[in-house]
Amino acid sequence: MPRLLRGHQTRYILKNIVSIVVKNLQTKFPVNSRVLRSIKNAVRKTLESGKIENSGEITVCLVDDRHITSLNRRYLKTNRPTDVIAFTINKKPIMADIVISAPTAISNAKIFRTTPVYELLLYAVHGALHVLGNDDKTMRLRTIMQRKAEHILTSIGVLKNGPS
């Protein structure tokens, strides 16, 4: 997958080993620097939980439904939007893209009675767990990943029904 280079971005170095770049490539949901920092922090905490020890870069892109549907159709053969897609391009050094649908975060926040920011953080953690090798192909594995994600978010002070 080609690296996405346009849009507002910020960079954060994980223990001077893994660079985490967050790019906002959508306009549906206003994203300020605090939200971008929170996304980076959530990915950083997820990587720490997986005891990642190699260098590299992870790019997190916030996109619209048209963009994520295109990626979903091209790489996963599903012609619909989804919440998050993770592409692990290389394991050592780690090179990965996590693509998040901001419109899906807005929709799901209403359905699950959370906030769009909580959903964005949840998807960032979920994508990072995939980069670490976690799988959610069965209900049991999906439940395990969900618990891990909620534990990571709680550990950084993000509550499911609290202010984000």
Q: pLDDT, tens digit, for every residue of 100-139? A: 999 999 999 999 999 999 999 999 999 999 999 999 999 9
**Secondary structure E strands in 43-150:** 56-63, 84-91, 94-101
CA dist 118 and 76 (Å) reads: 25
Pick from 117, 118, 124: nearest CA to 97 = 124
- Decide: 44 and 14 in contact? Cβ < 8 Å: yes
What share of the chain in percent tops pLDDT 70?
A: 87
Superfamily of domain 8-155: Metalloproteases ("zincins"), catalytic domain (3.40.390.30)
pLDDT, tens digit, 9 for 90 and up, residues 75-108: 999 999 999 999 999 888 889 999 999 999 999 9
- Decide: 94 and 131 in contact? Cβ < 8 Å: yes
